[in-house]
Amino acid sequence: MTPPPPAPAKPIGIAVIGAGYWGPNLVRNFQASPAFRLRWLCDLDADRAQRVLGGYSTVQVTTQLDEVLADPDVDAVAIATPAGTHLPIALAALRAGKHVLVEKPLAATYEEGRQLVDEAAERGLTLMCDHTYCYTPAVLRIRELLHAGELGELHFLDSVRINLGLVQRDIDVVWDLAPHDLSIIDFVLPPGVRPTAVAAHGADGIGAGRACVAYLTLQLSNGGIAHIHVNWLSPVKVRTAIFGGSKRTLVWDDLNPSQRLAVYDRGVDVASPEELEDEQRRDILISYRSGDMIAPALNEREALRTMVEEYARAITTGEPALTDGRAGLRVLEILQAASVSLAEGGTMIKLDEGQQA
């Protein structure tokens, strides 16, 4: 990714909306960034907001969004409220001329997300989605490797994100966890390769009223397959993804800090089709490579810090953020199609957005 710009002469005035689970992380990172000046923390519960700031802070607390949006020193907002409230809050902010960062998912529905994208485009404001994982050193490196063709053609992608998670009241495990995997896939796939269809299977073993375990299968435009396993009920935590390419295969194990990425130069080679004369000879033409594995050195840097810098870059330059509103929209389209598939017992649902974008 492009290097962060020099800190602007005057820091960007920012307000964080929402002091729940994610808000404190945004507060901490905006405070640490020289590119921003944190003006407000806004939450319906003023005590909660004050607790997040602690007893030694000069940042202002309010329960009134209007007050924040009326402040001319606020150039931008960061929204970390439940998905169902993203549309009204973000829309109000955009209409007040503020740049907007939204926690994933971009909105509660594809249609709502599209409203936000259109509104921001119309007004020439930055709309960015906080797809945090995309800014981890590991995912940034994966993107580099895939875009540079280091793995060759991508044949399969297998992502597992399971652990004992909070059973959400309003959304199922697909909407809770899969945005992470889908935003990563959207981020790292090389130009020209997009998901074209999705099927979803799930189960609600515990009678929670919504899927607690789910599997998504995505067809890719290059004939490959991507598969996602999300699960709230696993007592063991697994966060692994395998990117199987024609030249190399990459394994990402996010819970192994000493070896998050491993690139295997071993695999299966097949002679190109024109060399094949008949079906019977095929087995001769498949060979195995037993090569080395390289675990690239990664720096350890908090993803949110990089995300915050990217937000500053997008605001300052007017260029779209790496995970802009459109990226959030592509993720929403797949989530919505997955919900349809889940309801229909696993039908493969075609995607439109993927093709256009």
CA count, 13 A, side-chain hemisphere, 194? 16
Site for its own copies in 45-84 (CB under 8 A): 54-59
290 forms part of the interface with its own copies (CB under 8 A): yes
CA dihedral 269, 275, 279, 284 (to 10 degrees): -50
Binding residue (CB under 8 A) for its own copies from 70, 294, 340, 357: 294
Q: Which stretch binds its own copies (CB under 8 A): 74-82, 113-121, 186-194, 345-353?
A: 345-353
341 alpha-carbon distance from chain centroid: 21
Structure token pair of residue 127: 């709309």
Q: Please, what is the minimum distance in Å from the beta carbon of residue 190 to its own copies?
A: 15
> H or E segment at 304?
helix 303-317
Residues 341-348: contacts with CB under 8 Å, at least 24 apart: 341/198, 341/199, 341/200, 342/172, 342/174, 342/200, 342/201, 342/202, 342/211, 342/214, 345/201, 346/199, 346/200, 346/201, 347/199, 348/197, 348/198, 348/199, 348/217, 348/219
> H or E segment at 334?
helix 325-343
Site for its own copies in 198-257 (CB under 8 A): 199, 201-203, 205-209, 212-213, 215, 217, 223-225, 227, 229, 231-237, 242, 244, 246, 249, 251, 255, 257
Site for its own copies in 268-287 (CB under 8 A): 268, 270, 273, 279, 282-283, 286
340 forms part of the interface with its own copies (CB under 8 A): no
Q: Please, what is the minimum distance in Å from the beta carbon of residue 285 to its own copies?
A: 10
91 forms part of the interface with its own copies (CB under 8 A): no
Binding residue (CB under 8 A) for its own copies from 192, 258, 277, 278: 258
Site for its own copies in 157-176 (CB under 8 A): 158, 162, 164, 167, 169
151 forms part of the interface with its own copies (CB under 8 A): no
267 forms part of the interface with its own copies (CB under 8 A): yes
